[in-house]
Amino acid sequence: MLKHIFKTACLLLALTTLSASMSLGQLNYKQARMLKQEGFSLTSEGWSLGLPEKLLFGFDQAEIQAHNQQALQQLSSKLLKYKLDKVKIIGHSDNVGDLTYNLKLSGERAENVAQIFMQQGFRPNHLQVIPRGAEQPLVPNTSPENRAMNQRVNVVIVP
């Protein structure tokens, strides 16, 4: 009887540990805690942080404004410190204008974020730049405010 109780307790402990690690998205507790503190959330693509256009870029621009470069440098350094060194950088745009242009602009924005990550020590083969253009809006492109929310770059942690 005691043996049966011990086996059951061990099984419950193993299942609890497994479910806890699954809810962290294959990361350890310290990594997940840091990501949450930085504003990341667990999505279907992985741990993702949306960087809105208004924080990084001028209107219709791909260059990162100087005052935002430091924040990206700090973020990339912190990711490296926690051994989160494989990242997808996904560029998005609104649906105003030519589809080809928006795809190109979203790729340039993502590439510029990737350049900052590489300057901080990320290896190029650990960064995947993905331009998505207007494919995946957060909100309908029905107003200038909504379009600004769709002009963004997402940083997604690859486990």
The pLDDT, as a whole number, for residue 19 is 38
**pLDDT(100) > 90:** yes
Phi first, then psi, for residue 157 (nearest 5°) are -75, 130
The pLDDT, as a whole number, for residue 11 is 42
Query: b vs e for 1-39, b when ≥16 Cβ sit within 10 Å of the residue's Cβ?
Result: eeeeeeeeeeeeeeeeeeeeeeebbebeeebbebbeeee
Q: Which CATH class is domain 26-157?
A: alpha beta
Average pLDDT over residues 99-112: 96
The pLDDT, as a whole number, for residue 5 is 53
* Domain chopping of the chain, boundaries: 26-157
- Per-residue pLDDT band for 139 (boundaries 50, 70, 90) equals very high
Q: Mean of the per-residue pLDDT values for the chain? A: 85
The pLDDT, as a whole number, for residue 56 is 77
